[in-house]
Each structure stands twice: as C-alpha cells, then as structure tokens.
Amino acid sequence: MNIPYTVEARPDTGLSNGKLGIWLFLASEVMLFGALFSTYIILRTGSTTWPHGELSVWLGMANTFILIGSSVTMVMAWASLKLNDWGKHRLYLILTFVLAGIFLVNKYFEYADHFARGETPAHNTFLAIYYTLTGLHGLHILGGMIVMAYLIGPGAGLWKRNPGQFTNRIEFTGLYWHFVDLVWIFLFPVLYLL
Amino acid sequence: MHSDSSDIRKSVRKYFMIGAVLYAFTVITVAANQVQLALPFAVTVALIIAVSKGSMVASVFMHLSHEKRWVYGALLLTVAFFLVLMAVPIFTTMDTIGTPIVREAPAGGGHEGH
C-alpha cells in the first residue's frame, strides 16, 4: 500500500505529509528549547552573582561558524537535487555531516577541559544550565547526523526509485538542521557572551 | 516555492550570500561583546543580532518567506505559546510566596485617641 501525499501536496493544506509533519515537530522543539531558555532566565534573574568568562568565546565562535557553514551546505545539498546534480548533492551532504562531526568533537574537548578543572554541572548554577542546554543541543546534532548517515548510506537508493520523495526527505532533514543551527545562534550569545 | 531550475539557480547565489552575512553578524556579535555595555543594553544588542540572524536562516534557508498558510498558522500558534513561556519568569516575581512577612511589634500599650 502506498502512503499518499509523500511527494505531491495535499489538496486541502497544499503541503506534503512530511512538510507539515516536520514543521509541527519543529514547533514542539521550539517549546522544548523555549522551556530551557525560560529556565535560564529564571535562574539568572534569581541569582545575586552570575559567572562571566568561564567559557571560551573563540571556541564558541568557531562552532558558530561551523554550524552556519553546515546550514549552507545542507541547503545546497537540497538545491543540487532540485537541479538534478547527484554528485554535488553527495558532496554537500557529506560535507554537512563532516561539519556536524567537527562541532561535536569541539564540544567534546570543551566539556573535557571543563571536567578536568572540576567544572561539572554540580559546580554552580551557570554550569548546570550550560551543560543542560548545550548537551540537549548536542544530542540534536547527533540525531541529525544519524539521519544524514542514513540518507548518505542505505537511504540513498530512494533517489533512483522515487527522486521526488528522496528530495523531500532531504528538504525535511534540512529544515530540522536549520532549526538546530537557529538554536545555537541564540545559545552562543546567551551562554558565551552575556 | 521553488518549482523550476532557474529559480533554484538564482537561490544558490542567495544561499551563499546569506551565509556570508551570517558570518559577518557573528563577528559583529563577538565585537559588540568586547564593548563593556550595561547588562540590559548588552542583552538587547545581543538579542537584536541573534533575531536578525535567526530571521535570515528561517526565511531563506528554511524557505519560510514563501510557505503555505498551514505552516504559518502552526508557527503563529507556537510563537504565542512561546511568548507565554518566556513571560512565566515575570509571574514568579509578582507574588509574595516564599517572602517572609515582617510585622512590626505594636508600640507599648497605647491606643490612639479618637
């Protein structure tokens, strides 16, 4: 049995199933991260002192550059498919995966450095919310990488069988990835700069 | 919505330009942080830059500038609930729960005359 509207748009919404589905999922993700940002506001306004300068701004900036670059390569992976250029699509998607991996490696070294100095989540309130926010964000990066690995690997066969559906899957993955980048765009100044 | 290859080709240049602008805004964010501003002003500047960057990602990379009404509707609902979520910290300062109530001891024995 074929699931309808995986490629063509529904006549009532004008959207394919996956497009509406991913936007509804992202709406739930906004509430998830919004709750944590709200927690940050409560914790910070309720504290008499708040640490400053505990995080490496340059490493945070480098990670911001990496994620922005990965957003560009992700949208280019989709655009290449729309232009029927399979080779460029593969290049851009693999590049996005690699950039995501570099982000996580940087995060690992950053966490390891903090832990080596005894700066664990229990050390103070700032570090508790820092690890919570960036840890959850890091898990989202990992989730995105798993999806990308599937679309680079076994999932790539769908391009030959149903190119429209495969292009849509790349678009939906891109929407998720841009959201993850968007969260970091707010996380970086809030945690590293303010 | 992108429907033919000429539209996509025009968009490709835009994607790279927006990427460059996002990099520039990131540098501006860090540079602005080097200036010692009062916290409320620093927060305002940081949020303005972050919202600008986020808007570019949402409108160009996520194609939100030309999406269908159902997506806008879902996001409008989300924004409304998100604003409520952000406003919750304000409610925590509007009550006296947890604040000890200090009552002054009355002055020794005297009643005020009528």
Q: pLDDT tens for chain B, 114 residues: list them.
A: 445 788 888 899 999 999 999 999 999 999 998 888 888 888 999 999 999 999 999 999 999 998 999 999 999 999 999 988 888 877 777 777 777 777 777 776 555 444
Indicate whether A3 belongs to any domain.
Answer: no
Q: What is the DSSP letter of A57?
A: H
pLDDT, position B57: 96
Mapping DSSP to helix (H, G, I), strand (E, B) and coil, where does residue B112 land?
Answer: coil
Q: Which of B15, B62, B79, B86 to mutate to test the interface with A (most CBs of A within 10 A)?
A: B62
Q: Do residues B21 and B56 lie in contact, with contact meaning Cβ atoms separated by under 8 Å?
A: yes
Digit-coded pLDDT (tens) for A24-36: 999 999 999 999 9
pLDDT, position B109: 52
First to last CA, chain B: 81
Indicate whether A8 belongs to any domain.
Answer: no
Name which of A20, A37, A75 is nearest B61 (Cβ-Cβ).
A75
How many angstroms separate the CA of residue B74 from the nearest CA in chain A? 7
First to last CA, chain A: 54
Indicate whether A56 belongs to any domain.
Answer: yes
How many angstroms separate the CA of residue A1 from the nearest CA in chain B? 27
Averaged pLDDT, A120-142:
96
pLDDT, position B107: 72
Indicate whether A4 belongs to any domain.
Answer: no
pLDDT tier for residue A2 given thresholds of 50, 70 and 90: confident
Q: Do residues A35 and B83 lie in contact, with contact meaning Cβ atoms separated by under 8 Å?
A: no
Averaged pLDDT, A161-165:
94
| A47 touches B at CB < 8 Å | no
Averaged pLDDT, A38-46:
90
Indicate whether A2 belongs to any domain.
Answer: no
Partner-chain contact B85 A188, CB within 8 Å: no
pLDDT, position B108: 62
pLDDT tier for residue A186 given thresholds of 50, 70 and 90: very high
In whole angstroms, what is the distance from residue A121 CA to residue A135 CA?
11
How many angstroms separate the CA of residue B19 from the nearest CA in chain A? 6
pLDDT, position A65: 98
Q: Which ipTM value was assigned to this complex?
A: 0.91
Digit-coded pLDDT (tens) for A88-99: 999 999 999 999
Q: B80: exposed, middle or buried (C-beta count within 10 Å: 0-12, 13-18, 19+)?
A: exposed
Domain count, chain A: 1
Residue A22 has pLDDT above 90, yes or no: yes
How many angstroms separate the CA of residue B56 from the nearest CA in chain A? 10
Other Cβ atoms closer than 10 A to A22: 22
Task: Transcribe B73-106 into DSSP letters.
Answer: HHHHHHHHHHHHHHHHHHHHTSS-TTPPPP-PPP
pLDDT, position B6: 87
Name which of B69, B77, B86 is nearest A34 (Cβ-Cβ).
B86
pTM: predicted TM-score of the whole model, two decimal places:
0.90
Kindly list the distances between the CA atom of residue B89 and the CA atoms of A30, A31, A140, B35, in Å, as whole numbers in the listed order: 17, 15, 26, 28
Domains of chain B by residue range? 1-62, 68-93
Residue A139 has pLDDT above 70, yes or no: yes
Indicate whether A5 belongs to any domain.
Answer: no
In whole angstroms, what is the distance from residue B113 CA to residue B66 CA?
76
List all residues 6 or more positions away from A115 whose beta carbon is below 8 Å from its beta carbon: none
> What is the CATH number for A130?
1.20.120.80
Residue A103 has pLDDT above 50, yes or no: yes
Domain that holds residue A127: 17-193
Distance of CA A142 to the CA centre of its chain: 8
List all residues 6 or more positions away from A108 whose beta carbon is below 8 Å from its beta carbon: none
Residues in chain B with CB shorter than 8 Å from the CB of A30 are 78, 82
